[in-house]
Amino acid sequence: MIINTPAPMETSTIKADLAVIGAGMTGMAAALFAVNRKISTALVGQHSAMNFASGIMDLMGVHPAGQQWDDPWKAIDQVRYDLPDHPFAKVENTLIKESLEEVSNFLEGKLPYRRSMGTNVTLVTSVGTPKKTYMVPKTMWNGVKALEKKAPTLILDFTGMKLFSARQIASSLEKIWPGLRSKTIDFPKSELLEELHPEHVARVLDLSANRVALARRIKPLVKDVEYIGFPALLGMYKSVETVAELETLLGRPIFEIPTPPVSVPGIRLQEAMINGLGINKIFYSLSTMATKVTRTDGKEFITTIKGNNGNQTIVSKAVLLATGRFLGKGLVAGRRGICEPLMNLFVTQPESRDGWHRTSLFDPKGHPVNRAGIQTDSAFRPLTSSGEPVLDGLYVAGSILAGSDWMRMKCGSGVAIATALAAVKAIETAGTEK
Ligand SMILES: Cc1cc2nc3c(=O)[nH]c(=O)nc-3n(C[C@H](O)[C@H](O)[C@H](O)COP(=O)(O)OP(=O)(O)OC[C@H]3O[C@@H](n4cnc5c(N)ncnc54)[C@H](O)[C@@H]3O)c2cc1C
């Protein structure tokens, strides 16, 4: 609930132009865009926000149900035509391109990504299905090439690793990729461990000596193969170096395959973004939750956050809500419907719970509950139930928006990044007009 009250007296207060709430892909991209435009920014959200995300960036892959697109721009045009409440209907292609370019340029020296200009690429997922996506970590790029060529390829996994099976991937793909083989090996010095955690292995491989030991075990297996695929755990902070050194040691191009959560590429992406932004004096990162947002009579927002020693506050001219959907509790589903818990914003949703889901769980059309969310105007200001902007200075972006069903349409990162830029540009424009 937004209440117009005077600012509470707090000892620990941060002043910034913008408070971004939520540190998933949307919040991080918004912070980057804001800082690049000299807007001082406080980003509030836990630093584990990306532990679940695969780290690959979809733009638009599927629409309508079952139709996969090679050209995401044609897909977006179709979406705008069919679903005028989709967030892409509020942004131009030039802005979407600019947003992706800006994120990609920022990451280049830290955690480089690759894409095939203008088209989707196809990547193998952890369950062995080919998936169309737009931008992938450089460490996965050889996987796109290997699949394209159907080259003789060996996929490896490690004894004790849960939820990732090289054998399952190879058998799921055998019809379309006959040259694919699989092998399970013991990770060096892990023989006594019952379970192998991807995060732990990734950190171990940041050290060159461990890469050498691993390559020694793999070398005898790769005589007839052109490419080698690994679960995505080749280094935490030094993934590019790890892949390069293993390529040299093994004499083959290698690639990573996304794993189920906990996802090392998701963690890498979050660390690269937050640490990269951290060098800016106008950026504050607060790894905690916002508990309340109010507004003073002087039209500043007061965001209350849980600090180490009690509550702290952020005083800002604008707030951008990027708190995501049900998983991150940006939306909460209850008996009476779906609510937005931080500011009690109006949520567009089916009239009753009976309308949330279609009869079949796997209905290719998806479920209406996944299109529920916050409706905004063209400047990404949230609207009341009667269609008025809630407050000047308040903006919303990312997966909390109504209309996207990102998981089914494969547009998660695209919507997150593009709407973050659109909202930040609106904030910049509003700031210069005052
Ligand atoms: C399992 C999984 C796999 C994915 N795979 C892909 C993929 O293959 N390709 C792709 O493009 N995208 C993928 N994504 C989606 C992508 O990472 C983003 O989740 C998506 O783009 C939406 O981002 P978001 O920032 O809007 O929301 P979220 O990622 O949900 O982030 C919102 C964050 O805000 C936090 N938050 C909520 N309330 C508060 C509060 N009061 N104070 C502070 N913080 C708060 C939440 O805890 C959460 O961490 C995946 C996501 C998941 C979960």
* pLDDT tens column, 332-364: 999 889 999 999 999 999 988 888 888 887 777
The CB of 57 under 6 Å from ligand 1? The reply is: yes
Least confident segment among 37-46, 74-83, 101-110, 186-195: 186-195
User: If you measure from the C-alpha of residue 155 to the centroid of ligand 1, how many angstroms do you get, rounded to a whole number?
Assistant: 29
The CB of 103 under 6 Å from ligand 1? The reply is: no
Pairing state between β 130-133 and 153-158: unpaired
- Considering the chain, tell me which residue range(s) the CATH 3.50.50.60 domain(s) occupy: 13-108+267-433
User: If you measure from the C-alpha of residue 50 to the centroid of ligand 1, how many angstroms do you get, rounded to a whole number?
Assistant: 7
Burial 83-92 (b: 16+ CB within 10 A, else e): beebbbebbe
Alpha-carbon Rg of the chain, whole angstroms?
23
d(CA 190, CA 196): 8
The CB of 322 under 6 Å from ligand 1? The reply is: yes
In the prediction, which pLDDT does 3 show? 34
In the prediction, which pLDDT does 6 show? 37
pLDDT of residue 233 exceeding 50: yes
DSSP H helix total and E strand total for the chain: 11, 17
In the prediction, which pLDDT does 359 show? 80
Place 190 in a pLDDT band, splitting at 50, 70 and 90: confident
Residue 399 Cα: closest atom of ligand 1: 26
User: If you measure from the C-alpha of residue 247 to the centroid of ligand 1, how many angstroms do you get, rounded to a whole number?
Assistant: 33
In the prediction, which pLDDT does 221 show? 97
In the prediction, which pLDDT does 11 show? 55
In the prediction, which pLDDT does 193 show? 67
User: For the chain, what is the largest distance between any 2 Cα atoms, rounded to a whole number of angstroms?
Assistant: 72
Residue 25 Cα: closest atom of ligand 1: 25
- Dihedral, CA of residue 147, residue 153, residue 159 and residue 162, to nearest 10: 10
pLDDT of residue 192 exceeding 90: no
In the prediction, which pLDDT does 1 show? 34
Facing residues of 334 across strands?
337
Residue 411 Cα: closest atom of ligand 1: 11
* Element holding 14 (H helix, E strand): strand 13-21
Q: Which CATH class is domain 13-108+267-433?
A: alpha beta
d(CA 74, CA 367): 24
- Considering the chain, tell me which residue range(s) the CATH 3.40.50 domain(s) occupy: 127-259
The CB of 324 under 6 Å from ligand 1? The reply is: yes
pLDDT digits (tens, 9 = 90+) for 254-289: 999 999 999 999 999 999 999 999 999 999 999 999
pLDDT digits (tens, 9 = 90+) for 196-205: 999 999 999 9
Give residue 339's Cα distance to chain centre.
Answer: 23
Contact assessment for residue 131 and residue 125, using Cβ atoms and an 8 Å cutoff? yes
Residue 398 Cα: closest atom of ligand 1: 26
Of 3 and 59, which is predicted with more confidence? Answer: 59
Residue 21 Cα: closest atom of ligand 1: 43
Q: Looking at the domain that runs over 127-259, which CATH code has it been given?
A: 3.40.50
The CB of 416 under 6 Å from ligand 1? The reply is: yes
Facing residues of 18 across strands?
41, 318
User: If you measure from the C-alpha of residue 434 to the centroid of ligand 1, how many angstroms do you get, rounded to a whole number?
Assistant: 33
d(CA 188, CA 186): 6
The CB of 265 under 6 Å from ligand 1? The reply is: no
Mean pLDDT of the chain: 93
d(CA 41, CA 273): 14
Mean pLDDT for the stretch of residues 34-62: 94
How distant, in Å, are the alpha carbons of 19, 37, 228, 269, 271 from that of 51?
23, 28, 25, 10, 11
pLDDT digits (tens, 9 = 90+) for 79-128: 999 999 999 999 999 999 999 999 999 999 999 999 998 899 999 999 99
